[in-house]
Structure 1
Amino acid sequence: MLRAVVVLTGAALATFALLWHAPGDPALAIAEARYGQNVSKEVLDFIRAEAGFEDGFWTAFWAWLAPLMQGDFGQSSVNGRDVWPDLVTAMSYTFPLALVSLALGLAVSVPLALIATRRPGSWLDRGAVALASVGVAIPAFWLGLLLILLFAVQLGWLPAMGAETTTHSILPAMTLGFGVAASLTRIIRSGILEARGQPFLPAFTRRGVARRDVARDHIAPHAAVPVVTVLGLELAFLLEGLVVVEVIFARPGLGSFLVNAIFARDFPKVQAVVLLAAVIFVLVNLAIDMIYRSLDPRVSGRDA
């Protein structure tokens, strides 16, 4: 918990410092986002006083952090509304898409890795490794544009933008799920092959233990240790990919929420998204450690 506090405080401080020292006048960005292009000096002075820009960095940072420690994310610098309800609305679009993408990646990677490990070194194995390598190398924004050109523009099967219906989530989920599947396929394949090479497995075979029982009780737990680690990190890193993908597909999720807040220099909104991402990373790593210890009892609390 102490480490989590350090991580969250550091993330908040670093993000606030980057926004504070970014080129340009933050008061002008807020004024243009709130009132339009033509703003007077009086309006700029009012916004500087309202946002605390004239009080100095540490005073402004503490003015934002103190209410946050009591569960208050503050109000938007642009529209004056509470940040938390808008953040919850954005999460309602982003989190389901992240879970669907992760499920799609698992649905593809597990069968592909099992097929590849049946005959290591065969053309199926080499093909699966090659496909996974290509999937890792393809940027999400480029793959998303290709899918839009193929399925939305050329074929007209799926919508390219928006989030009104379930079909609007297919192309974004495919874009993110392909990268997840590529990473997991390589890790699952390596984990299975390494588990099969453990020196104690032939002893179970000589004792007459069925292959299915050996695979379920001994190979699977050993192979699951690196898979759980990568799977948890993939869930956290999906938030990073969602920022780009949601902008490409014009989805009203955390990605669009964050990009619009950055352009408007809306400090409370940007900070809320950064802290949310930091909390997710902390919780995911905590869950990984707990699952890791349950899979491998040799790991002590200090080692975890």
Structure 2
Amino acid sequence: MTNYVLRRLLSIVALAFGISVLVFLIIRLIPGDPAIALLGTNAGDASLVARLHHQLGLDQPVHVQYLRWIGNVLRGNFGYSYGDQRTVSSLLAANFPATIQLTLAGLALSLIFGSLLGVLAAVRRNRPADTVTMGVALTCMSIPSFWLGLLLILLFAVKIPIFDVVGGTSLKGLVLPAVTLALGSIGFNARFVRSSVINAQQQKHVITARAKGITAWQVFRKHVLRNAMLPILTIVGLQVGQLISGVVIVETVFSRPGIGRLLVQSILSKDYLTVQAVVLIIAVIYAVTNLLVDLLYPVLDPRVGNR
């Protein structure tokens, strides 16, 4: 087990290194000069442009820029955002909690309602309830989040003013963004849970339990549901990454503070250091979450650890 954990930790380090190199190079392929974008109307002064190039380190070779940046990151220094006139670390600290709040809310909604719909469809397999539930799940997966967000704002913030329109960080302001973020995952979870429950119902120990005269509810609760829910853990790691990437759109649509909206604004303003920091952190969170899932799975299912 120790060797496995060490191998996974090394893979996370390698992944973070690869992501850092890719984002460092790709962001520099975006057309335009960040110094000119920052100077705005003063960009006509060549001396000011040259001075800002020097301050940003853009006058150095690319490999020197990367080594300088990654060295600072390893020391906990993500650099300085000239666009916001503050350190990148302070920007991340100010926006990260709102993103975590939205991601956890979306994950909770997707797991709860996706599991309920999946179990209902499996129990009513090949019946009208199954067809309707899977139709709802497919619809949830097909609706674009940006369109759904605008529709929810129109219905529940403008026509029926129940929730905050945009920018809300309270519980009322969290509802619409969380629903928008979670809807696609709800449909995916419903289809996945349905398949898991149907597969669990066909296992030999379940058939044996029924033959012994155990009530249908006891068989379902002790033998079917428990085994069917376990595979959900394997997709939680994937969904966390999907939800964190989805906040880029949701936070922008709802003008909600967070690293997703910060990323969009930083790309538009060509704030290299902020973009690199946000993408790197998202990649590390995704990798660490999947590592935790891999470590928890043998604990919840000892059969996996014995293989």
TM-score calculated relative to the size of structure 2: 0.91
Deviations 1:203-260 (A, max 9, x none): 2233454544433443234312431122221122111111001101111111211111
On the 8 A contact 1:31/1:78 being kept in 2, the answer is: no
Change (3 A) 1:85 1:228: same
Question: Counterparts of 1:40 and 1:211 in 2: how far apart (Å)?
Answer: 80
Partner of 2:170: 165
In terms of mean alpha carbon deviation, does 198-207 or 49-58 score higher?
198-207
Question: Counterparts of 1:170 and 1:297 in 2: how far apart (Å)?
Answer: 38
Partner of 1:20: 28
TM-score calculated relative to the size of structure 1: 0.91
SS across alignment from 1:54: coil
Deviations 1:77-101 (A, max 9, x none): 3344221121011011111111112
Which of the numbers 48, 52, 61 marks the counterpart of 2:53? Answer: 48
Partner of 1:94: 99
Which of the numbers 272, 296, 302 marks the counterpart of 2:301? Answer: 296
Q: How does 1:23-34 map to 2 (within 5 A)?
A: 23-32=31-40
On the 8 A contact 1:30/1:78 being kept in 2, the answer is: yes
Change (3 A) 1:173 1:212: same
1:154 aligns to 2:162 (yes or no) = no
Let me know the Cα RMSD of the aligned residues: 1.9
Q: Tell me the CA shift for residue 164 of structure 1.
A: 4.5
Partner of 1:6: 14
SS across alignment from 2:165: coil
Query: Which runs of no fewer than 5 residues in structure 1 stay unpaired?
Result: none
Question: Counterparts of 2:21 and 2:165 in 1: how far apart (Å)?
Answer: 37
Query: Which runs of no fewer than 5 residues in structure 2 stay unpaired?
Result: 1-8
SS across alignment from 2:204: coil
On the 8 A contact 1:184/1:231 being kept in 2, the answer is: no
Kindly provide the amino acid, as one letter, of the partner of residue 117 in structure 1: A
Kindly provide the amino acid, as one letter, of the partner of residue 83 in structure 1: V
Deviations 1:252-287 (A, max 9, x none): 111211111111211221111111101111111112
Change (3 A) 1:133 1:164: closer
1:140 aligns to 2:139 (yes or no) = no
Deviations 1:78-130 (A, max 9, x none): 34422112101101111111111221222322222222222201110110100
Aligned residues, how many? Answer: 299
SS across alignment from 2:12: helix
Question: Counterparts of 1:38 and 1:84 in 2: how far apart (Å)?
Answer: 27
Q: How does 1:213-232 map to 2 (within 5 A)?
A: 213-232=218-237
Partner of 2:289: 284
On the 8 A contact 2:167/2:255 being kept in 1, the answer is: yes
SS across alignment from 2:114: helix
Question: Counterparts of 1:106 and 1:45 in 2: how far apart (Å)?
Answer: 53
Partner of 1:62: 67
Kindly provide the amino acid, as one letter, of the partner of residue 116 in structure 1: A
Kindly provide the amino acid, as one letter, of the partner of residue 200 in structure 1: H
Change (3 A) 1:21 1:155: same
SS across alignment from 1:159: coil
Which of the numbers 245, 265, 290 marks the counterpart of 2:270? Answer: 265
Which of the numbers 195, 201, 204 marks the counterpart of 2:206? Answer: 201
Q: State percent identity of aligned pairs.
A: 33
Kindly provide the amino acid, as one letter, of the partner of residue 148 in structure 2: L
Kindly provide the amino acid, as one letter, of the partner of residue 125 in structure 1: D
Partner of 2:238: 233
Partner of 1:178: 183
On the 8 A contact 2:169/2:256 being kept in 1, the answer is: no
Kindly provide the amino acid, as one letter, of the partner of residue 260 in structure 1: Q
Question: Counterparts of 1:300 and 1:294 in 2: how far apart (Å)?
Answer: 8
SS across alignment from 1:53: coil
On the 8 A contact 2:36/2:43 being kept in 1, the answer is: no
